[in-house]
């Protein structure tokens, strides 16, 4: 089956009429504030599964290069054998789960007090955890994440979950029985005060690599059990004095993603699963492929764009 055009073209900017063009005010508030959202929606892959993403300006790195202390018992394989599913993967040095989602120090910025900045950063941290790490989202329930957002944007984003648009900022697993708990991540965060159409905003930019372990054949090459998603998300919190109550709180205003070693057919339906598989009856195996720079936030993300 041919891929949709937006999944097979390089650096395509997708601007549907949904949440990407969300307004802070609807006509009933007489507002004219439009959040322009340019989102890259190329989720196609070559072999290992690579799609386009741009880089953001350097922020605060949220994990270290040192190998983290293992947390708990390693996942058990299909044959009941404990194994490190990250062995041989660049994600082996990433911090586990929520430990990797750390915010920079809060400082008074523009019209926002230190307390307001701290609250905004905490809301972004919770948004990242609920969208990429929490079991509810991973198993298909977006409501805990949506409840973190400003009321005016919830319904707009809820519609993303009827298709696969949410992949830019959230993860859902295709095969819970094969996916193993123990996500690792690396990321950085920066923030600034800005103004849009007279509304004062605190804008928070996040860029993370999320590494999800899957139980694959023991003969699989090193790293084949890991699916990587590298995303870049821009969040905004409007100054509470500038907007009505329904627009106060966290807004997700743009997002893009690049994947590696994710099954292309599952991505079309909005689900994440590893791409490694047995090709034929002779046991020829398709490896995950070269991840390129997807795991390295200090380098540009890969730019190959076709399945």
User: Is residue 26 pLDDT above 50, yes or no?
Assistant: no
Q: Is residue 250 part of a domain?
A: yes
- Cα 53 → chain centroid: 12
Residue 264: give the domain boundaries.
Answer: 13-63+85-286
Instruction: From residue 182, give the alpha-carbon distance in Å to each of 100, 115, 133, 134.
Output: 12, 32, 9, 11
The per-residue pLDDT for 177 is 64
Q: How confident is the model at residue 31 (pLDDT cuts 50, 70, 90)?
A: very low
Average pLDDT over residues 57-77: 43
Q: Is residue 223 part of a domain?
A: yes
What's the domain count of the chain?
1
**Residue 76 DSSP class:** B
- Cα 142 → chain centroid: 14
> CA 71, CA 95: separation in Å to the nearest integer?
10
> CA 181, CA 134: separation in Å to the nearest integer?
10
User: Is residue 60 pLDDT above 60, yes or no?
Assistant: no
User: Is residue 14 pLDDT above 50, yes or no?
Assistant: no
User: Is residue 233 pLDDT above 80, yes or no?
Assistant: yes
Q: Is residue 231 part of a domain?
A: yes
User: Is residue 42 pLDDT above 80, yes or no?
Assistant: no
The per-residue pLDDT for 39 is 34
Q: Is residue 276 part of a domain?
A: yes
DSSP, residue by residue, 137-175? HHTT--HHHHTTB-HHHHHHHHGGGGTTGGGGT---BS-
Among 168, 201, 186, 167, residue whose Cα is nearest residue 102: 186
pTM as predicted: 0.74
pLDDT tens by residue, 121-136: 999 999 999 999 999 9
The per-residue pLDDT for 49 is 40
Q: Is residue 271 part of a domain?
A: yes
Residue 69's contacts (CB-CB under 8 Å, 6 or more residues apart) are none
Q: Quote the tokens at residue 86.
A: 């990250």
The per-residue pLDDT for 263 is 87
pLDDT tens by residue, 161-218: 998 999 999 999 987 667 788 899 999 999 999 999 999 999 999 999 999 998 876 6
CB 264 within 8 A of CB 45: yes
Average pLDDT over residues 36-52: 35
Residue 305's contacts (CB-CB under 8 Å, 6 or more residues apart) are 8, 9, 10, 11, 42, 44, 46, 50, 51, 52
Tokens 């650096």 belong to residue: 11
User: Is residue 67 pLDDT above 70, yes or no?
Assistant: no
Q: Quote the tokens at residue 34.
A: 């439009």
CB 256 within 8 A of CB 232: yes
Q: Is residue 234 part of a domain?
A: yes
Average pLDDT over residues 73-79: 49
The per-residue pLDDT for 50 is 39
Q: How confident is the model at residue 265 (pLDDT cuts 50, 70, 90)?
A: confident
**Is the pLDDT higher at 47 or at 265?**
265
**Is the pLDDT higher at 23 or at 112?**
112
The per-residue pLDDT for 56 is 30
């Amino acid at each position: 089956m041919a891929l949709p055009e937006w999944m097979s073209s390089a650096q395509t900017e997708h601007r549907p009429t949904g949440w990407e063009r969300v307004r802070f005010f609807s006509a009933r508030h007489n507002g004219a504030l439009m959040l322009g959202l340019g989102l890259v929606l190329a989720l196609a892959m070559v072999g290992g599964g690579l799609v386009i993403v741009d880089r953001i300006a350097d922020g605060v790195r949220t994990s270290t290069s040192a190998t983290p202390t293992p947390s708990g018992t390693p996942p058990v394989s299909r044959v009941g054998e404990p194994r490190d599913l990250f062995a041989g993967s660049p994600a082996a040095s990433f911090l586990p789960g929520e430990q990797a989602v750390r915010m920079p120090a809060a400082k008074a910025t523009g019209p926002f007090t230190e307390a307001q900045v701290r609250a905004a950063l905490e809301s972004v941290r919770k948004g990242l955890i609920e969208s990429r790490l929490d079991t509810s989202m991973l198993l298909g329930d977006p409501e805990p994440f949506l409840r973190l957002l400003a009321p005016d944007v919830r319904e707009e984003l809820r519609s993303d979950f009827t298709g696969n648009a949410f992949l830019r900022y959230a993860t859902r697993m295709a095969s819970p029985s094969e996916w193993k708990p123990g996500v690792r991540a690396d990321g950085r965060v920066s923030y600034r005060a800005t103004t849009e159409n007279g509304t004062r905003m605190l804008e928070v930019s996040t860029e993370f690599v999320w590494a999800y372990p899957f139980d694959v054949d023991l003969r699989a090459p090193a790293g084949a059990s890991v699916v990587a998603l590298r995303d870049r998300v821009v969040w905004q919190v409007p100054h509470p004095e500038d907007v009505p109550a329904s627009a106060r709180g966290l807004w997700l205003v743009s997002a893009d993603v690049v994947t590696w070693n994710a099954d292309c057919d599952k991505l079309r339906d909005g689900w994440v699963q590893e791409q490694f598989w047995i090709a034929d009856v002779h046991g020829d195996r398709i490896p995950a492929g070269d991840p390129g720079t997807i795991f390295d936030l200090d380098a540009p993300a890969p730019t190959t764009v076709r399945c």
